[in-house]
């Protein structure tokens, strides 16, 4: 951290007892990795975010964070700019060049508040939070970024090309007719619907849909893609899943 002690995060334990119901939204399925070298700040952030319902993990530097990523992919990273060894900004740039993590949401935490610093930070991060900040502001910014990536509090109905996903009912329908999907087919189609018009490799789809802790061959993705296409073909929408030769797949409402 730059100038430890001169910049503080406006977080106090008493605040945790007065969190509004709006901030206590159930977020048990959202995993956040905090990369912060100052232990008191990291632990306080973990406590605040867990109180808000997030699943939270911590790392003291980018080496620990990279080890965590090799075992478990978070939904969002809170990353301090100034870290010992490799800086947070340099690591964020490295993640953006990595095909497996280029789309991973990142929020930079820093005491740097100059316009030039913000522009530099936003070149490789999805948001930029200047210290000091309040838990209310941080959680609002986290939810805003998560919504942009298809996650977040109280997910609403998604409609892409007439394919309607209702997360609360765990149901997908076309022309008001529910699709008969296996759990894996549902998760795969849900991912496509919430990440349209982006190309994903088979490895990326395995990580995002099946998880990094499960060993499955890449051809498993092709098998489930074929099954999804057969189901969508009944409604004339199989062409929405496009094969990108030499790379992977794209889901689009404009086949």
Query: How much is the pLDDT for 30?
Result: 86
39-62 pLDDT, tens digit per residue, is 999 999 999 998 888 889 999 999
Asked if pLDDT for residue 106 goes beyond 70, the answer is yes
For residues 197-224, average pLDDT: 83
Question: How far is Cα 14 from Cα 231, in angstroms, rounded to an integer?
Answer: 53
Please identify which residue in the block is written with the tokens 């977040």: 152
Helix (H, G, I), strand (E, B) or coil at 199: strand
Asked if pLDDT for residue 7 goes beyond 80, the answer is no
Asked if pLDDT for residue 149 goes beyond 90, the answer is no
Residues 6 or more apart from 105 whose CB is under 8 A from it? 75, 76, 77, 126, 145, 146, 148, 149
Longest Cα separation, the chain: 63
Task: Decide the pairing of beta strands 54-59 and 199-201.
Answer: unpaired
Of 14-18, 164-168, 243-247, minimum mean pLDDT range: 14-18
Please identify which residue in the block is written with the tokens 């997360």: 167
Confidence tier at 209 by pLDDT (50, 70, 90) = confident
The pTM of this model reads 0.55
Query: How much is the pLDDT for 23?
Result: 40
81-102 pLDDT, tens digit per residue, is 999 999 999 999 999 888 888 8
Helix (H, G, I), strand (E, B) or coil at 204: helix
**Average pLDDT value for the chain:** 83
Count of CA atoms in the C-beta half-sphere (13 A) of 239: 3
Query: How much is the pLDDT for 79?
Result: 95
DSSP letter (8 states) at residue 206: I
């Amino acid at each position: 951290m730059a100038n430890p002690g001169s910049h503080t995060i406006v977080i106090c334990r008493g605040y945790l007892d007065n969190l509004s119901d709006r901030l206590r939204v159930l977020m048990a399925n959202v995993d956040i990795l905090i990369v912060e070298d100052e232990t008191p700040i990291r632990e306080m952030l973990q406590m605040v975010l867990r109180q808000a319902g997030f699943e939270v993990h911590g790392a003291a530097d980018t080496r620990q964070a990279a080890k965590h990523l090799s075992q478990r992919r978070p939904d969002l990273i809170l990353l301090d700019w100034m870290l010992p060894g490799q800086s947070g900004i340099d690591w964020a740039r490295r993640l953006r060049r990595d095909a497996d993590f280029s789309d991973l949401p990142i929020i930079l935490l820093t005491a740097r508040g100059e316009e030039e610093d913000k522009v530099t930070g936003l070149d490789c991060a999805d948001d930029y939070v200047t210290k000091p900040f309040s838990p209310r502001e941080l959680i609002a910014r986290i939810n805003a970024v998560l919504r942009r990536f298809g996650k977040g509090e109280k997910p609403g109905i998604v409609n892409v090309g007439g394919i309607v996903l209702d997360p609360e009912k765990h149901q997908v329908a076309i022309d008001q007719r529910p699709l008969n999907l296996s759990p894996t087919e549902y998760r795969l189609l849900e991912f496509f619907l919430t990440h349209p018009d982006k190309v994903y490799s088979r490895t990326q789809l395995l990580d995002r849909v099946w998880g990094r802790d499960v060993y499955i061959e890449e051809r498993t993705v092709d098998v489930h893609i074929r099954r999804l296409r057969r189901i969508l073909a009944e409604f004339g929408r199989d062409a929405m899943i496009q094969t990108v030769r030499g790379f992977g797949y794209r889901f689009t409402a404009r086949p």
